[in-house]
């Protein structure tokens, strides 16, 4: 078999002999180009997902914790100053609920237990506003239905905990996507270098 190949190779002209490695390099380059294009496409998709979905979700999640703190502070101030109107003027709860519902609808995020976290928040806000209004009316630190400041604080901490869990989930996904993009970018550079080296060898040697 080797003798036959050597025989046919010797019968080739110089130009034909020189074209063989060039053709092989071209085929190799073609296959490598397909791999590079595919990698670039994956990088673009992951970057778009990171920019358009994960980062906005993280901003909403972080904002929820700030809004939760604002609600607590406003209810506390309304209770101390006996201002019922301040309780009714609170709107941060609607923003939090909208943010959580947006996360629930976005199946690409694949976040766990967001619906239950939303229910935990709703329960806290309902109890907290009722507590504040009843305290304002009765001038007592208990609302008359067995809800004390300690119970309310525990509910607040429960909401804060689940909000932090959402943040952690999204942070983990952002880190994972970022690392994946870095790895694929490194591979693209690596494949490009191989591509250039192979063609340089064929052309100059």
Residues in the chain: 205
* CA–CA distance, 196 with 184 (Å, rounded to integer): 18
Tens-place pLDDT, residues 176-199:
999 999 999 988 888 888 777 776
Chunked into runs of 10 residues, the chain (205 residues) has average pLDDT values of 50 56 71 84 92 95 97 94 93 97 91 93 95 83 63 94 95 94 88 76 61
Distance CA 154, CA 62 (A): 21
Q: What tokens does 55 get?
A: 């980062």
Please report the pLDDT score of residue 181 as a whole number. 92
């Amino acid at each position: 078999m080797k003798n036959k190949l050597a025989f046919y190779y010797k019968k080739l002209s110089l130009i034909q002999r020189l074209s063989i490695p060039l053709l092989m390099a071209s085929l190799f380059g073609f296959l490598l180009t397909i791999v590079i294009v595919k990698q670039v496409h994956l990088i673009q998709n992951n970057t778009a997902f990171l920019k358009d979905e994960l980062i906005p979700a993280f901003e909403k999640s972080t904002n929820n914790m700030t809004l939760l703190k604002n609600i607590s502070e406003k209810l506390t101030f309304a209770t101390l100053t006996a201002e019922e109107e301040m309780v009714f003027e609170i709107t941060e709860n609607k923003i939090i609920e909208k943010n959580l519902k947006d996360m629930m609808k976005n199946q690409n995020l694949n976040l766990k237990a967001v619906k239950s976290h939303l229910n935990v928040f709703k329960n806290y806000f309902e109890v907290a506003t009722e507590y504040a209004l009843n305290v304002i009316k009765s001038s007592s630190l208990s609302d008359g239905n067995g809800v004390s400041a300690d119970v309310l604080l525990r509910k607040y901490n429960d909401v804060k905990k689940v909000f932090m869990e959402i943040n952690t989930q999204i942070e983990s996904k952002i880190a994972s996507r970022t690392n994946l993009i870095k790895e694929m970018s490194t591979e693209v550079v690596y494949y490009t270098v191989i591509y250039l080296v192979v063609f340089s060898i064929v052309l100059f040697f």
